[in-house]
């Protein structure tokens, strides 16, 4: 069993190597511009080798997508250390936007791209995505239950905040804020978040 174990481990290591570089390229260049050949070049293997570990480009895409949500969820969950739910909520917003702007191509992949995923993927996909949303939604509920927000529908509030955050991130990433300078956008975002959370707060 030791041998097959090692084999399995080696196989996993290779898969990880490919994923690592593929992810880096998807992130740096975007989905369309990343070709199997370019990934192969980077890891210094032949394109054919990649097909030993992944059925096709879509499968790679799917795994990366999933990993994206894993990373995202991990970052999000760190905020669970914050006891005060409203502060936690604020922190989660920060995590969200930081993720979006530190890895815009990743964000694009996860939240914007019309993904070339097959049906099976569709189900799996939401494992981590769903978990992230639930985690966020729970904090919203806590805020309301503990009276930090006016008594409103949990879902309406979660839905609103998510939309608001994604709106800012995606308009910025897809360059629809050209009526403002980059500096202005930065300040407007900060101002907007403060305002939004301000008006939602039950003072």
Partner DNA sequence: CATGAATGAGAGTTCATTCAT
Partner DNA sequence: GATGAATGAACTCTCATTCAT
Footprint on this chain of DNA (rule: CB under 7 A): 7, 10-11, 14, 34-38, 44-49, 51-52, 56-58
User: What is the gyration radius of the CA atoms in the chain, in angstroms?
Assistant: 20
Q: Name residues whose C-beta falls within 8 Å of residue 181's C-beta, 6 or more positions apart in sequence.
A: none
Number of residues that bind a copy of itself (CB under 8 A): 40
Q: How far is the CB of 50 from DNA (least distance, A)?
A: 7
Look at residue 180 and give the partner it binds from DNA, a copy of itself, none, a contact being a CB closer than 5 to 8 Å depending on partner kind.
Answer: a copy of itself
Q: Residue 163 in 3-state DSSP?
A: helix
Q: Which of residues 61-100 bind a copy of itself (CB under 8 A)?
A: none
Q: Is residue 200 involved in binding a copy of itself (CB under 8 A)? A: yes
Q: Name residues whose C-beta falls within 8 Å of residue 34's C-beta, 6 or more positions apart in sequence.
A: 22, 25, 26
Cα dist from 17 to 21, 24, 40, 138, whole Å: 6, 11, 11, 36
Q: Is residue 186 involved in binding a copy of itself (CB under 8 A)? A: no
Burial class for 168, CB neighbours closer than 10 Å (0-12, 13-18, 19+): buried
Phi, psi (5° rounding) for residue 149?
-125, 155
The residues pairing with 201 across neighbouring beta strands, listed in sequence order, are 149
Binding segment (CB under 8 A) for a copy of itself, from list 7-15, 35-43, 66-74, 193-201: 193-201
Q: Which of residues 124-143 bind a copy of itself (CB under 8 A)?
A: 126, 130, 133
Look at residue 145 and give the partner it binds from DNA, a copy of itself, none, a contact being a CB closer than 5 to 8 Å depending on partner kind.
Answer: none
- Report yes or no: 196 and 164 within 8 Å, Cβ to Cβ: yes
Question: Please, which residue, 63 or 149, has the CB nearer to a copy of itself?
Answer: 149
The residues pairing with 149 across neighbouring beta strands, listed in sequence order, are 201
Q: Is residue 112 involved in binding a copy of itself (CB under 8 A)? A: yes
Q: Residue 103 in 3-state DSSP?
A: coil
Q: How far is the CB of 53 from DNA (least distance, A)?
A: 7
The residue ranges that bind a copy of itself (CB under 8 A) are 30, 32, 111-114, 126, 130, 133, 152-153, 155-157, 159-160, 162-168, 170-171, 174-176, 178-180, 184, 188-189, 191-192, 195-196, 199-200
């Amino acid at each position: 069993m030791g041998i097959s174990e090692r084999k399995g481990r080696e196989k996993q290591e290779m898969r990880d190597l490919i994923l690592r570089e593929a992810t880096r390229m998807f992130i740096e260049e975007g989905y369309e511009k990343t070709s199997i050949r370019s990934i192969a070049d980077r890891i210094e293997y032949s394109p054919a080798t990649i097909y030993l570990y992944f059925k096709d480009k879509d499968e790679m895409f799917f795994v990366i997508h999933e990993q994206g949500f894993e990373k995202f969820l991990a970052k999000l969950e760190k905020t669970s250390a914050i006891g005060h739910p409203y502060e936690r909520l604020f922190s989660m917003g920060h995590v969200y936007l930081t993720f979006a702007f530190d890895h815009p191509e990743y964000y694009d992949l996860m939240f914007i791209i019309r993904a070339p995923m097959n049906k099976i993927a569709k189900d799996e996909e939401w494992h981590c995505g769903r978990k992230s949303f639930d985690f966020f939604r729970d904090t919203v509920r806590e805020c309301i239950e503990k009276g930090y927000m006016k008594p409103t529908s949990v879902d309406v509030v979660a839905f609103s905040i998510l939309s608001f955050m994604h709106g800012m991130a995606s308009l910025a990433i897809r360059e629809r804020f050209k009526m403002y300078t980059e500096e202005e956008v930065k300040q407007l975002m900060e101002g907007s978040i403060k305002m939004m959370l301000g008006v939602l707060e039950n003072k």
